[in-house]
Structure 1
């Protein structure tokens, strides 16, 4: 009996066309980008997508290919809803057969997605969600994060405050609570002698901060100087409304966390106010950031924003990992490649810490400029805070 080998249809078609077998096109590399493109975090999601696509363009020289294989990006909108994020990621891994996924905007949705990565045994790069739990108690070995964490934000802010009294204003949901918890821990971790005297949580969609401000002022006004109100807020920031209530009459200074450019543009009246930020287009000095700033201004008539840089960083992690691992189909090769992997970003080099896959990265201490040349000329650099000065704890119990 003669044993016959049945050739796949694709091979038969190639032979029929007279095509050498080695010349057959390799399958596409597929990447899913999940973002909250509708809802309260829409602006962040759109910036992330822009940065991600520009990053892929730059890193592949415009070819959108890695190791000779075409790169296909599938974008999905989870509307910042955890159940939808979970469903879309399962769809991306199961139906779309993506090699790697990136997402998402909301921390709540990102946390819901983590078990899906473990179930399908596929890599998920978290960008831009910041909740510490993502690389902490909710983490699994398939999860990597290019986004900064709440603790990295908090440690950067704590590095600027050595003593005095601190109150916090944040949104009353996972992001805000996580950020304030990290803020208190960061003060201790950096050796600051500043004392936290009040925590104020307002609804995520709050527009009236009168009662909150009165409670904050009452808690701070008689405490040791300097008296600082740290504001941690996603979306339209309450800084202007708080500032209009004249906290300076109680010797209280505002310390906003960095935000997107359209929000920070409204802070012009508060020259000299200091804070910390993940990225501001004029701070990093490197070839990649130079290209991003110039090209973004050319295409969008404005400089890139902090979430644009984050999307670009995620693209760099994807391209570096897929290039060095030799392809995307073997998850174990990807994980082995990515643990400890360094990759270039518009902020400079990042590296995935082996223990919890958090990207270690620098942050920036800024001051709002007194003299501003144009509508986006907002901040001056006080100091780049290197990753070595940000002792992010490992909390995933690996």
Structure 2
């Protein structure tokens, strides 16, 4: 009897050890971002910081979900489509991650969509923007916490208050982000009476906008009404500065553009009073998540959080919510949990639309104010533009 008791005790002790070890197995999440070799690198670094802060916030500082530590595996796309596809396949295959988050450039990210489908693993897109990422070429394994071009442009159109007296020339980069953005802007203007007089597309990395600007001036200058050049450029090159240097006011032409990250906002000081739409500025959302993010980021990094910091945090909060609510940690159960899922973010409530997995969210109408005591131009909030106000087209329909 004593021998049986000892054996039973040893067996139970061994079972307890095995159970504890199993409970402590990490849940692996890949962050697939370009962190070398491109001007967009700063976007990736912000998203990474925001993601790590989001995991911390969502887990109360434990970085654990249901007793499992969250292990973040970093993959560098180098902003090259072939490298991006290879490292995502490596993350799903060799690293056995449960899901992945990325990437930064819309053009690079588009190539990741079939990899997620091939491995039947979830890809949460953050911070890439293009509508096409949840469009017909996407698939059921793709979810998107970042805003899309339609949100940018519907909010931008609402900020411009379009009517039959508005004439617009557009400037964008010639790739998925720029093309999708202008297409969305044209859709947003449908029925308003406003007119697009010309569309200019420049290669990524362009620094000389002289010819494009002259063509836009010529298309606008003789129009009777409000004349606006809309800039939708994510990269460098300072198109706004170059256009303003050519004195559009000579022709009664205004400049409008979306908001940008803090390092770029000092250039907006050249355009006081300019109105547009922005995805995030740290002073705009009023909610507990954003208050924590602003306070914590200020304490740790001696500055406020930026555009993609908020986006990275939103993605992390979505991951933790999905892990907490899914019946199992496998792809189909996660998809079931995430379709229609709402969760709190620095921007307020976001919801994954079941049809195409785009996260619906607010945008913000701003007006630029210049304060000599602040290093950047301040995008003062005119009003929040809610998801309900924007008619965002459904992308994927299968």
* Aligned residue runs from structure 1 range 307-346, under 5 A: 307-328=308-329, 330-346=330-346
In 2, the alpha carbon distance for the partners of 1:119 and 1:322 equals: 22
Partner of 1:5: none
In the alignment, what sits opposite 2:3? Answer: none
Shift of 1:19: 4.7
User: Does the CA contact (< 8 Å) of 2:104 and 2:128 recur in 1?
Assistant: yes
How far apart are 1:250 and its partner, in Å? 0.8
The 5-angstrom pairing of residues 346-357 of structure 1 reads 346-357=346-357
Q: Stretches of 4+ moved more than 4 A in 1?
A: 13-21
Cα offset, 1:90, TM superposition: 0.6
Aligned equivalents of 1:241, 1:322: Cα separation in 2: 47
1:215-267 deviations in whole A, cap 9, x for unaligned?
A: 11111111232111110011223111211111111111111111111111221
- Partners of 1:311 and 1:370 in 2: CA distance: 28
Counterpart-to-counterpart distance in 1, 2:15 and 2:354:
48
The corresponding residue for 1:379 is: 379
Render the CA deviation track for 1:354-378: whole Å, top value 9, x for unaligned.
Answer: 0000000000111111435422461
- Equivalent residue pairs, number: 383
Q: In terms of mean alpha carbon deviation, does 356-365 or 173-182 score higher?
A: 173-182
Q: Does residue 128 of structure 2 align to residue 126 of structure 1?
A: no
Secondary structure, aligned partner of 2:396? coil
Match of 1:201 in 2: 201
Deviations 1:120-179 (A, max 9, x none): 111110011111111111110000000111111111111123221011011122211121
Deviation of 1:182 (Å): 1.4
> Relative to structure 1, is the Cα distance of residues 227 and 102 closer, same or farther in structure 2, using a 3 angstrom cutoff?
same
User: 1:304 maps to what in 2?
Assistant: 305
Aligned to 1:9: none
For the Cα contact (< 8 Å) 1:226–1:252, is it kept in 2? yes
Query: 1:272 & 1:122 partners in 2: Cα distance?
Result: 46
Q: Give the match for residue 59 of structure 2.
A: 60
Counterpart in the other structure of 2:173: 171
Q: 1:22 aligns with which of 2, 13, 19?
A: 19
Q: What TM-score do the two structures reach when normalised by structure 2? A: 0.93
Q: Is the 8 A contact 1:105 1:129 kept in 2?
A: yes
Decide whether the 8 Å contact of 2:269 with 2:376 is kept in 1. no
**1:28-47 Cα distance to aligned partner (Å, 9 max, x none):** 10000001112131111111
Deviation at 1:337, TM superposition (A): 0.3
Distance (Å, rounded) in 2 between the aligned partners of 1:241 and 1:20: 66
Q: TM-score, normalised by structure 1?
A: 0.93
**Is residue 368–residue 377 contact of structure 2 (8 Å, CA) maintained in 1?**
no
> Is 1:103 the equivalent of 2:106?
no
Q: Give the equivalent residue in structure 2 for 1:222.
A: 222
Deviation sequence 1:16-63 (CA, Å, 0-9, x none): 879554333422100000011121311111111111111111111111
Superposition RMSD on alpha carbons, in Å?
1.7
Corresponding residue number in structure 2 for 1:287: 288
Residue 14 and residue 201 in structure 1: after superposition, are their counterparts in 2 closer, same or farther (change >3 A)? farther
Distance 1:107 1:87 in 2: 17
SS at match of 1:160: helix
Kept in 2, the 8 Å contact 1:321–1:338? The answer is: yes
User: How far did 1:352 drift?
Assistant: 0.1
1:38-77 correspondence runs (5 A)? 38=36, 39-77=38-76
Give unmatched runs, 5+ long, in structure 2.
1-9
Moved more, 371-380 or 145-154: 371-380
Q: Separation in 1 of the partners of 2:109 and 2:247?
A: 38
Correspondence for 2:248: 247
Query: Using the alignment, how far apart are the partners of 1:110 and 1:234 within structure 2?
Result: 15
Q: Distance in 2 between matches of 1:276 and 1:246?
A: 23
Q: Deviations over 1:171-223 (max 9, x none)?
A: 122211121111111211xx422110011112211112111111111111112
- 1:124 touches 1:142 (CA, 8 Å); kept in 2? yes
Q: Equivalents in 1 of 2:109, 2:336: separation in Å?
A: 23
Tell me by how many angstroms 1:79 deviates: 1.4
- In the alignment, which residue of structure 1 is the partner of 2:33? 35
Cα distance in 1 for residues equivalent to 2:159 and 2:193? 12
Structure 2 counterpart SS, 1:380: strand
Deviations 1:310-338 (A, max 9, x none): 1011001101001111453x111100000
Aligned to 2:180, the other structure's residue is in SS state: helix
